Chain A
Amino acid sequence: MNSQLQTLLENNPRVWRAKDAGRYLMTGTPTGHPQLDATLPGGGWPVNAIMEMVAPQWGMGELQLLLPLMRTITQQKRWILWISPPYIPYAPALERAGIDMDYVIVIQPDNSCKDALWSIEKALQARACALVLAWLDGLPNGVIRRLQLAAETGHSLGVLFRQRNDEHSSAALRLHLHPSEKGVQVEVLKARGTHRYCSVHVNLQLH
């Protein structure tokens, strides 16, 4: 193989080869939900990456899915940034669920998508901040790729919550949530490191 091509394949984090899928299997963060861990490549949430969660409406378990991760992060005394959440993150409930609110910061830009994107990028680049949750729709093309790079620099995970399903997205993992009786039905739209796109039911104790 061409040596230049070889170096490109080996050093560029954005290029992955199907035969290297095993490499990615090593690196997931456990989600805390056994059904989901079994499905996702790497046995958990991707690391140093951007992830998209498409939910047609809020209030169907989208935060519950991330709850074990958030718990671990605040226990490690690393920070979680919530950028333009649709409602007020309710501190009594989050504390009851085991999240240390001392490590949660809410950013509410004044209705400007540009400011929100800028703050997501800065937050992802900061190493003390481990998880960035952002509620944004209508992202310009190519933005996710840029955020992806920021997440790699800062060794953080960015989760974008969206209400519309945008097919052309370069996020490392894309999930579509469907409401169900006892939890949530998670459809994997795209996952870096696998071809097997499937759907799994996750039991959640919403209330």
Chain B
Amino acid sequence: MTKSPVVLPLPLSLPSEVPQSASKAEAEILQPLWLALVFPKLALEVHDGQQRDIPAVVVKEYKGRSVVHTASRLAEVQGVSADMPINAAYALCPGLKVYPVNDQSQLQRLQQLAAWAEQFTSRINVQPPQALLLEVRGSVRLFGGLSAIQGQIRQQLTEQWRHSFHSAVTPTPMASLLLAFCGQGDVVQNKQHLRSVLGRLSVNSLPIGFKTKQQLRNTGVRSLRDVWRLPREGLARRFGPELINYLDRTLGLIPDPLNFFTSPDEFEAFYEFPMEVYSTDLLFNVAGQLLQQLAIFLRQRDVCINQCQFQLYHDMHTATDIIVGVRQATRDHQHLATLLEEHLNRLSLKAPVKGIKLTAKDFMLFSPQDFSLFLEPALDQPLTGRESDIGSLLEQLQARMGRDAIKTIHSVADHRPEYAYRVNETVAAKSEHIKQQRPFWLLPEPRLLPQKNHQPWLQGPVTLIKGPERIQAGWWSGRDVRRDYYIAVDNKGSHLWIYQELNEPCQWYLHGLFA
């Protein structure tokens, strides 16, 4: 009996030690390393966080009867097991809480988990209904060893996600999945050791047809070690090509290509309130949590956003949209929250809120701002690097009063006074300064002045001081201007900029004030 280990695994590694080890090291670098995560209680855990402390089951329909799909740990302690009819489960455990199986939410949760796992590797495969595959070979050095990766995964899954899980690491995806499904937390670095590690698993745990399993058992095959001993041709002839194909993929003898998970290019988070909400305070709290999720999402992708959208859902009413926009792209959730607060303060809810959704798209690459390492510069020095300060002020103002309330005004070259400036446009080339005097205040529309004895009148006589300055332009654009401008003083002492139309009927207008 002591001879057998010498006979079986060793002959391969015996001859020519030196070249073998070099190529072995190379092969190890190139060999992928698959970490499988299996969530045995996922069907139960997607429902809510409570079922950990009570006996609970998820049921599925099987041949017209309800049977147990997944049972919680407390239910299992009382004897409830999978595939048991629900009546039997109730008999064993009267206080059982029952949920229907929900494939859709399981898949959603798996995708969320895949997005979460992107912090460990970019090569992730989703294996519905309850497993993930992570290719971690490239991440081992970055994280400082495989055990460090596994430790981080374990910590985050148990503390943040509160999922129970099994994991296994091998060079082939199928072997990792198989080991993890069996609850074996093995780590196999080399393909050549797979046979011996998998050998102890029972054929019952293989993901193959029930009939094939029964046939295998009838031929006296109990574990995979027994399968390895059977001749390959015979196996193929007796059980069909599927079994051989599966075993070859498991051992890495034939390639096993997988589709990699790609994260969604939009962020979407939803929260449904357990009851109807009337106060914006509560809304703000929940929205703050959604924004935090968004911040994590953005940080993982190293992107930032210009705007995000909240939707508040009501009964019998259309949803209320809130768009939070920022002038400078950001991923700071606190900043977004202050802006949202301004929106919520002004919002009057037309109906109680049932749910809230946050969406964000159109991501931009994040480029961090540079902050001063030392003290703030003194205030009488020019503030060069502080434009961001004014940016956040303008965002706040904009959030409260709307986009149109904030204006910049620049001059452009035009002889007609009312066309010589532009609102909210950056004017690339500074216009030549006009030589003539212009008032600081311009009226939005010229105001018609009444006349007395052919002289303009503004609550009293108006005295002309300077002028006229003739402005005659714009005939080409259809907005012809032919005017004589004067500087005048009214009887209260205001300095006015008035003009007389040269076209009939030669009316007088007030156009500006020298302030």
A residues neighboring B (CB under 8 Å): 56-64, 76-79, 85-97, 101-102, 104-110, 115, 118-119, 122-123, 126-129, 155, 178-180, 206-207
Evaluate contact between B515 and A207: CB separation under 8 angstroms. no
Known: A59-B441, A105-B408. 4 other contacts (CB 8 A): A57-B494, A77-B383, A88-B421, A101-B408
The complex places the Cα of A60 from the Cα of B393 at a distance, in Å, of: 32
Given contacts A77-B382, A90-B439, contact A108 B407 (CB under 8 A): yes
B405 surroundings in chain A (CB, below 8 A): 107-110
Evaluate contact between B433 and A86: CB separation under 8 angstroms. no
Contact pick for B393, options A77, A89, A126, A180, CB 8 Å: A126
User: Does B397 touch A at the CB level, under 8 Å?
Assistant: yes
Evaluate contact between A207 and B437: CB separation under 8 angstroms. yes
- What are 5 A-to-B residue pairs whose CB atoms are below 8 Å? A60-B493, A61-B514, A62-B515, A123-B397, A179-B494
B513 surroundings in chain A (CB, below 8 A): 58-59, 87
B411 surroundings in chain A (CB, below 8 A): 91-92, 95, 101
B40 surroundings in chain A (CB, below 8 A): none
A58 surroundings in chain B (CB, below 8 A): 441, 494, 513, 515
Give, as a whole number of angstroms, the nearest-CB distance from B230 to chain A.
79
Q: How large is the interface on B (under 10, 10 to 19, 20 to 34, 35 or more residues)?
A: 35 or more
Evaluate contact between B434 and A59: CB separation under 8 angstroms. no
Select from chain A the residue with minimum beta-carbon distance to B409. Answer: A91
User: Does B442 touch A at the CB level, under 8 Å?
Assistant: yes
Contact pick for B441, options A88, A122, A179, CB 8 Å: A88
Evaluate contact between B495 and A90: CB separation under 8 angstroms. no
For the complex of A and B, list the 3 residue pairs with the smallest distance between their C-beta atoms, beginning with the closest: A179-B493, A59-B513, A59-B494
A76 surroundings in chain B (CB, below 8 A): 380-383
The complex places the Cα of A70 from the Cα of B390 at a distance, in Å, of: 17
A207 surroundings in chain B (CB, below 8 A): 437, 439, 465-466, 487, 495, 514
Give, as a whole number of angstroms, the nearest-CB distance from A81 to chain B.
8
The complex places the Cα of A126 from the Cα of B396 at a distance, in Å, of: 11
Q: How many residue-residue contacts, CB under 8 A, span A and B?
A: 163
B466 surroundings in chain A (CB, below 8 A): 207
Given contacts A109-B405, A179-B494, contact A86 B441 (CB under 8 A): yes
The complex places the Cα of A56 from the Cα of B441 at a distance, in Å, of: 16
The complex places the Cα of A107 from the Cα of B389 at a distance, in Å, of: 17
A129 surroundings in chain B (CB, below 8 A): 390, 393
Select from chain A the residue with minimum beta-carbon distance to B391. Answer: A128
Give, as a whole number of angstroms, the nearest-CB distance from A121 to chain B.
11
Evaluate contact between A90 and B383: CB separation under 8 angstroms. no
Given contacts A57-B492, A101-B411, A128-B393, contact A107 B401 (CB under 8 A): yes
The complex places the Cα of A76 from the Cα of B382 at a distance, in Å, of: 5
The complex places the Cα of A102 from the Cα of B390 at a distance, in Å, of: 12
The complex places the Cα of A129 from the Cα of B397 at a distance, in Å, of: 13
Give, as a whole number of angstroms, the nearest-CB distance from A71 to chain B.
13
The complex places the Cα of A86 from the Cα of B404 at a distance, in Å, of: 17
Evaluate contact between B390 and A88: CB separation under 8 angstroms. no
B492 surroundings in chain A (CB, below 8 A): 56-57, 179
Select from chain B the residue with minimum beta-carbon distance to A105. Answer: B408
The complex places the Cα of A97 from the Cα of B441 at a distance, in Å, of: 13
Select from chain A the residue with minimum beta-carbon distance to B346. Answer: A115
The complex places the Cα of A78 from the Cα of B465 at a distance, in Å, of: 37
Give, as a whole number of angstroms, the nearest-CB distance from A163 to chain B.
12
Give, as a whole number of angstroms, the nearest-CB distance from B346 to chain A.
9
